Structure 1
Amino acid sequence: MIKLVYCLTRRPDVTPERFHTYWLEKHGPKVRERKAALRALKYIQSHTVEPELNGLLQASRGMQPPYDGITEVWWDSADTLKAAIGTPEGAKAMQDLLDDESTFIEFSTSRLFITEEHSIF
Protein backbone atom coordinates (compact mmCIF):
# COMPACT_ATOMS: atom_id res chain seq x y z
CA MET A 1 0.00 0.00 0.00
CA ILE A 2 1.20 3.53 -0.76
CA LYS A 3 0.12 6.89 0.57
CA LEU A 4 0.31 10.40 -0.81
CA VAL A 5 1.14 12.93 1.90
CA TYR A 6 0.31 16.53 0.96
CA CYS A 7 1.46 19.23 3.40
CA LEU A 8 -0.69 22.28 2.68
CA THR A 9 -0.05 25.98 3.05
CA ARG A 10 -2.94 28.32 2.38
CA ARG A 11 -2.71 31.11 -0.16
CA PRO A 12 -1.84 34.48 1.44
CA ASP A 13 -5.15 35.95 0.29
CA VAL A 14 -7.14 33.19 2.02
CA THR A 15 -7.87 33.54 5.74
CA PRO A 16 -7.27 30.52 7.98
CA GLU A 17 -11.01 30.23 8.63
CA ARG A 18 -11.88 30.34 4.93
CA PHE A 19 -9.10 27.87 4.12
CA HIS A 20 -10.25 25.26 6.64
CA THR A 21 -13.94 25.66 5.83
CA TYR A 22 -13.41 25.45 2.06
CA TRP A 23 -10.99 22.52 2.30
CA LEU A 24 -13.37 20.51 4.50
CA GLU A 25 -16.77 21.47 3.12
CA LYS A 26 -16.08 22.07 -0.59
CA HIS A 27 -12.83 20.39 -1.62
CA GLY A 28 -13.28 17.24 0.47
CA PRO A 29 -16.58 16.33 -1.23
CA LYS A 30 -14.96 16.94 -4.63
CA VAL A 31 -12.28 14.39 -3.77
CA ARG A 32 -14.92 11.92 -2.54
CA GLU A 33 -16.84 12.31 -5.84
CA ARG A 34 -13.69 11.35 -7.76
CA LYS A 35 -12.48 8.45 -5.60
CA ALA A 36 -13.54 5.77 -8.10
CA ALA A 37 -11.80 7.50 -11.02
CA LEU A 38 -8.68 7.87 -8.85
CA ARG A 39 -8.98 4.33 -7.45
CA ALA A 40 -8.25 5.81 -4.02
CA LEU A 41 -8.97 3.73 -0.93
CA LYS A 42 -8.93 6.38 1.78
CA TYR A 43 -8.73 10.16 2.07
CA ILE A 44 -7.99 12.01 5.33
CA GLN A 45 -7.66 15.71 6.09
CA SER A 46 -5.73 16.79 9.20
CA HIS A 47 -6.34 20.45 10.01
CA THR A 48 -3.72 22.30 12.08
CA VAL A 49 -5.09 23.50 15.44
CA GLU A 50 -3.73 24.86 18.73
CA PRO A 51 -1.57 27.74 17.44
CA GLU A 52 -0.13 28.54 20.89
CA LEU A 53 0.91 24.95 21.54
CA ASN A 54 2.34 24.68 18.02
CA GLY A 55 4.34 27.86 18.65
CA LEU A 56 5.84 26.47 21.86
CA LEU A 57 6.81 23.18 20.24
CA GLN A 58 8.29 24.90 17.18
CA ALA A 59 10.28 27.38 19.28
CA SER A 60 11.75 24.54 21.36
CA ARG A 61 13.14 23.00 18.17
CA GLY A 62 13.92 26.13 16.13
CA MET A 63 11.38 25.18 13.46
CA GLN A 64 9.42 27.14 10.89
CA PRO A 65 5.66 27.72 11.29
CA PRO A 66 3.48 24.67 10.64
CA TYR A 67 1.62 23.76 7.51
CA ASP A 68 -2.07 24.62 7.59
CA GLY A 69 -2.88 20.94 7.31
CA ILE A 70 -2.08 17.59 5.78
CA THR A 71 -3.97 15.48 3.28
CA GLU A 72 -3.35 11.75 3.09
CA VAL A 73 -4.62 9.51 0.28
CA TRP A 74 -4.07 5.74 0.11
CA TRP A 75 -3.88 3.35 -2.86
CA ASP A 76 -3.28 -0.40 -3.09
CA SER A 77 -0.02 0.18 -4.97
CA ALA A 78 1.93 2.60 -7.12
CA ASP A 79 0.72 0.65 -10.14
CA THR A 80 -2.89 1.27 -9.08
CA LEU A 81 -2.28 5.01 -8.90
CA LYS A 82 -0.39 5.05 -12.20
CA ALA A 83 -3.19 3.10 -13.88
CA ALA A 84 -5.84 5.47 -12.48
CA ILE A 85 -4.15 8.65 -13.66
CA GLY A 86 -3.45 6.99 -17.01
CA THR A 87 -7.16 6.83 -17.81
CA PRO A 88 -9.11 9.77 -19.24
CA GLU A 89 -11.38 9.73 -16.15
CA GLY A 90 -8.46 9.65 -13.73
CA ALA A 91 -6.56 12.37 -15.58
CA LYS A 92 -9.67 14.57 -15.59
CA ALA A 93 -10.24 13.94 -11.87
CA MET A 94 -6.64 14.93 -11.09
CA GLN A 95 -6.94 18.09 -13.20
CA ASP A 96 -10.27 19.03 -11.63
CA LEU A 97 -8.77 18.72 -8.15
CA LEU A 98 -5.64 20.63 -9.13
CA ASP A 99 -7.77 23.46 -10.51
CA ASP A 100 -9.77 23.58 -7.31
CA GLU A 101 -6.66 23.43 -5.09
CA SER A 102 -5.24 26.46 -6.88
CA THR A 103 -8.04 28.55 -5.38
CA PHE A 104 -6.95 28.01 -1.77
CA ILE A 105 -3.50 26.33 -1.64
CA GLU A 106 -0.14 28.09 -2.07
CA PHE A 107 1.72 25.49 -4.13
CA SER A 108 5.17 27.10 -3.77
CA THR A 109 5.24 26.52 0.00
CA SER A 110 3.29 23.26 0.10
CA ARG A 111 4.84 19.81 -0.30
CA LEU A 112 3.64 16.43 -1.47
CA PHE A 113 5.27 13.04 -1.69
CA ILE A 114 4.44 9.35 -1.94
CA THR A 115 5.22 7.20 1.09
CA GLU A 116 5.05 3.66 2.31
CA GLU A 117 3.97 3.25 5.92
CA HIS A 118 5.93 1.20 8.46
CA SER A 119 3.92 0.61 11.63
CA ILE A 120 6.08 0.88 14.76
CA PHE A 121 3.33 0.51 17.38
Structure 2
Amino acid sequence: MFVRQCLLSPSDRLAGCRYLQSHALADEKLARALSGRGCALPPYDGIAELWYDNADAVLAVGANEEARAARRLLLADEERFVDLPNSSIFWVHEHGIIGPSDNW
Protein backbone atom coordinates (compact mmCIF):
# COMPACT_ATOMS: atom_id res chain seq x y z
CA MET A 1 0.00 0.00 0.00
CA PHE A 2 1.40 3.38 -1.05
CA VAL A 3 0.56 5.15 2.19
CA ARG A 4 2.25 2.58 4.40
CA GLN A 5 5.38 2.56 2.29
CA CYS A 6 5.78 6.29 1.68
CA LEU A 7 3.92 8.17 4.38
CA LEU A 8 3.79 6.06 7.48
CA SER A 9 7.30 4.71 7.29
CA PRO A 10 9.37 4.07 10.42
CA SER A 11 10.41 7.71 10.33
CA ASP A 12 6.80 8.46 11.33
CA ARG A 13 6.52 11.44 9.00
CA LEU A 14 2.90 12.11 9.82
CA ALA A 15 3.21 11.64 13.57
CA GLY A 16 -0.06 11.17 15.39
CA CYS A 17 -1.99 10.56 12.19
CA ARG A 18 -4.29 7.66 11.50
CA TYR A 19 -5.05 7.09 7.80
CA LEU A 20 -8.03 5.00 6.70
CA GLN A 21 -9.48 4.08 3.33
CA SER A 22 -13.05 2.81 3.17
CA HIS A 23 -14.17 1.30 -0.12
CA ALA A 24 -17.84 1.25 -1.12
CA LEU A 25 -19.61 -2.13 -1.14
CA ALA A 26 -21.51 -3.06 -4.27
CA ASP A 27 -23.65 -5.76 -2.67
CA GLU A 28 -27.24 -6.24 -3.85
CA LYS A 29 -28.21 -7.49 -0.38
CA LEU A 30 -27.61 -3.96 0.92
CA ALA A 31 -29.57 -2.15 -1.81
CA ARG A 32 -32.83 -2.40 0.18
CA ALA A 33 -31.40 -0.19 2.91
CA LEU A 34 -30.81 2.54 0.32
CA SER A 35 -34.19 2.25 -1.38
CA GLY A 36 -36.01 2.16 1.96
CA ARG A 37 -34.62 5.61 2.73
CA GLY A 38 -35.15 6.94 -0.79
CA CYS A 39 -31.39 7.16 -1.35
CA ALA A 40 -29.48 6.71 -4.55
CA LEU A 41 -26.09 5.12 -4.81
CA PRO A 42 -23.46 7.73 -3.99
CA PRO A 43 -21.39 9.07 -6.91
CA TYR A 44 -18.15 7.87 -5.31
CA ASP A 45 -16.54 4.56 -4.59
CA GLY A 46 -14.84 5.26 -1.29
CA ILE A 47 -13.55 7.71 1.26
CA ALA A 48 -10.20 8.39 2.88
CA GLU A 49 -9.85 9.66 6.43
CA LEU A 50 -6.95 11.27 8.24
CA TRP A 51 -7.45 11.23 12.00
CA TYR A 52 -5.66 13.52 14.43
CA ASP A 53 -6.20 14.09 18.14
CA ASN A 54 -6.98 17.80 17.73
CA ALA A 55 -6.44 20.87 15.52
CA ASP A 56 -3.05 21.55 17.10
CA ALA A 57 -1.86 18.11 15.97
CA VAL A 58 -2.90 18.93 12.38
CA LEU A 59 -1.06 22.24 12.52
CA ALA A 60 2.03 20.61 14.02
CA VAL A 61 2.26 18.27 11.04
CA GLY A 62 2.07 21.29 8.75
CA ALA A 63 4.98 22.90 10.59
CA ASN A 64 7.27 19.93 9.90
CA GLU A 65 9.10 19.89 6.54
CA GLU A 66 9.26 16.09 6.39
CA ALA A 67 5.48 15.92 7.02
CA ARG A 68 4.81 18.54 4.33
CA ALA A 69 6.88 16.44 1.89
CA ALA A 70 4.83 13.37 2.86
CA ARG A 71 1.61 15.29 2.22
CA ARG A 72 2.89 16.30 -1.22
CA LEU A 73 3.53 12.61 -1.98
CA LEU A 74 0.01 11.75 -0.82
CA LEU A 75 -1.48 14.47 -3.04
CA ALA A 76 0.53 13.28 -6.04
CA ASP A 77 -0.78 9.74 -5.45
CA GLU A 78 -4.37 10.95 -5.00
CA GLU A 79 -4.21 12.86 -8.29
CA ARG A 80 -3.93 9.48 -10.04
CA PHE A 81 -7.36 8.24 -8.88
CA VAL A 82 -9.27 10.95 -6.99
CA ASP A 83 -11.49 13.51 -8.73
CA LEU A 84 -10.02 16.31 -6.61
CA PRO A 85 -12.12 19.22 -7.98
CA ASN A 86 -15.30 17.30 -7.09
CA SER A 87 -14.08 15.95 -3.75
CA SER A 88 -14.77 17.41 -0.34
CA ILE A 89 -12.56 18.02 2.65
CA PHE A 90 -14.18 18.74 5.98
CA TRP A 91 -13.21 18.69 9.64
CA VAL A 92 -15.29 16.88 12.22
CA HIS A 93 -15.38 16.14 15.90
CA GLU A 94 -16.73 12.67 16.51
CA HIS A 95 -19.58 12.22 19.00
CA GLY A 96 -20.21 8.62 20.02
CA ILE A 97 -23.91 7.80 20.35
CA ILE A 98 -24.13 3.99 20.50
CA GLY A 99 -21.39 1.56 21.44
CA PRO A 100 -18.53 1.43 23.90
CA SER A 101 -17.41 4.93 24.79
CA ASP A 102 -13.75 3.92 24.90
CA ASN A 103 -13.85 3.77 21.08
CA TRP A 104 -14.56 7.51 20.97
Q: TM-score, normalised by structure 1?
A: 0.63
Whichever of the two has the greater Rg, that structure is 2
Q: State the partner residue of 1:33.
A: 9
Q: State the partner residue of 2:66.
A: 89
Report runs of 4+ in structure 1 exceeding 6 Å deviation. none
Q: State the partner residue of 2:28.
A: 52
CA contact (8 A) 1:47 1:69 kept: yes
Would you say how many aligned residue pairs link Structure 1 and Structure 2?
97
Q: State the partner residue of 1:108.
A: 85
CA positional deviation for 1:85: 1.0
Cα RMSD, aligned residues only: 2.5
CA contact (8 A) 2:61 2:67 kept: yes
Q: TM-score, normalised by structure 2?
A: 0.72
What do residues 54-83 of structure 1 show as CA deviations (whole Å, max 9, x unaligned)?
655444545453221111221121111101
CA contact (8 A) 1:40 1:73 kept: no
CA contact (8 A) 2:20 2:48 kept: yes
| Higher share of residues assigned helix | 1
Relative contact order (alpha carbons < 8 A, sep ≥ 6): 1 or 2 greater? Answer: 1
Question: Partners in 2 of 1:55 and 1:97 — Cα distance?
Answer: 33
CA contact (8 A) 1:38 1:85 kept: no
Structure 2, unaligned runs of 5 or more? 99-104
Q: State the partner residue of 2:102.
A: none
Structure 1, unaligned runs of 5 or more? 1-24
Question: Partners in 2 of 1:108 and 1:56 — Cα distance?
Answer: 31
CA contact (8 A) 1:35 1:41 kept: no
CA positional deviation for 1:98: 0.5
